[in-house]
Structure 1
Amino acid sequence: MTTAALNSSPAPAILPGSGGLRGALSDLFWRRPLFLLLLMLLPPVLWLGIVYIGSLFALLLQSFFSIDEFSGLINREFTLKTYGDLLQAANLDIILRTVTMAALVTLASAIIAFPIAYYAARYARGRWKALFYLGVMLPLWSSYLVKIYAWKLILAKEGILTWLLAKLNLLWLLDAWLSLPVVGGNSLSVSASGTFIVFVYVWLPFMILPVQAALERVPGNLVEASSDLGASPGQTFRNVLFPLALPGIVAGSIFTFSLTLGDYIIPQIIGTSRLFIGQAVYSQQGTAGNIPLAAAFTVVPIVIMGFYLWGAKRMGAFDAL
């Protein structure tokens, strides 16, 4: 046995190549791992660089063109005339209305989301926590249009909300609210108030989850220490909970604010004839055929969100996403 073992040839230190194109590529990737990494990153980088950034660049480029008032054709010469048209009173009113609605929706979502997220982070355990996630995520699983049309039926003059207020003898309160000049209308389904309610309902889950994630990072002993030192619940909220949960609130506001800025379906189905930025873009590039002005309108939320994201990053909001 010893002689046979000595006469046996030793195993090669390196396995022989498999040959062919497949073997050559395998050897290349093994010797040059950075080349393999580059090849794996190439498809998403091309998608992001060409499809996404390229489309944004083309959009920005279109905004520096203008429309010929006589022929209706696009004049492909660089000019700031389109941005001058954007500063007209009617267009500024659209921008101001959209930004105001986005800010109000974000504020209301934060106020509603905080106690829900606080209960889930501090007290919900086991099945109750699973039920919480199910309740928050369940509206996101249904169709976007179905939810909007369902709310249109709920808020209509013949809807269940009007019926309920009539049963409670509170219909006079709804009529008084609808008689107000800015927020009112013939019914909630054709008013700015109805648009606001549906916006808050649709985007609320995007606020709850980041706030809940931020509150779960708050150590429980900090709240207990604040109480032991004699702080009232209000002082504990202002000095402990709110500052530590603020990154989560800002993270949630990124979703609610940006989604409200760009949405045009909700104001189209529920609301008045007053346009939002999304509706103005749809109208200018579709009905009016003024693509440069439509592109200039789309630049507005991009610029606003650029500054908003810059401020959110400084506040550490991305840590709560």
Structure 2
Amino acid sequence: MDTALVIGGTRFIGRHTVEEFLNHGYEVTIFNRGNHENPFSDVEDVEHVEGDRDDRTALEAAALSVDPDVVIDCVAYHPERVRVATEAFSDARYVYVSSGSAYGREEVPKREGGTPLHDCSPEQATDESPATYGPRKAEGDRAVHEAASRGIEAMSVRPCVVYGPYDYTERLDYWIARVLEYDRVVVPGDGQHLWHRAYVEDVASALRIVAERGDPGEAYNVGDRRLTTIEEGLDLIADVAGTDVEIVHVGERELDAVGLSAEEFTLYRDYPHVMTTAKLAALGWESTPIEEAMARTVAEHEESDRDGSEHDPGRAIEERLLGVLETL
């Protein structure tokens, strides 16, 4: 039986990745600091090695003790960590979880090997701020490519915005909660803005397929094969939840009247973010139908205590917006 080591593995993408490898006959080891509850603590084919992924010695010890065939690195946020990991696991098939944010130019669609990546300065490479996330992920991609040039079987997977069960970011939870709780939902602009999303189980299957069939040094985009605008997404949430929703569009003038901007609404993006997934599909990867993906996502949301409140501009402000619309 093949062995997969998942760096991370207990929260969101990592959790689904562990399940994906288990479902395909792998023995799985989770490597993390143990700061979060382990949902696999009672699963026979899942081991846990405690350690800090930023500690080179701990990674090297895990490589020796586990001797994995595959390594999935879900929590590499700085390029130096990718370089260290590719060296520590040089005898394995290593897959780095990058991001669509690595792309440095706005174009539709963004293509692997075609759309330029962000540059990354030495200062950005060690920074912790959200503003440098894309450059750091891009430099990690370059570290993977460089490792492959030295004979290490390293690949990258670039998800766009990931959604699905157990999403601790709660970005989509905000919109799900709005649809489930209210008849009228405020949406900035005309509702046609497009931010490519990726269902988390599809990201997990992409990681496995790239680990098994991907070419060293290559990067693979992953995202829903069928894209939806924000308005289509909210209608889909309502459909799978068996409810109705009225989407109320608000423009810049109305938002200004209550001191808000469109960017304060989670998952809003003025320019479309779309990534081609043909390269991944050529390896045999398939996307879950979005109706099925959203149904699973909404069902788990209803069982959780997540409401996306950290992204909430406030229902009182939304009521003021609705009042402003009635006066115009």
Greater strand proportion: 2
The structure with the largest alpha-carbon Rg is 1
Greater helix proportion: 1
> What is the TM-score normalised by the length of structure 2?
0.23
Q: Whose RCO is larger (CA < 8 A, sep 6+)?
A: 1
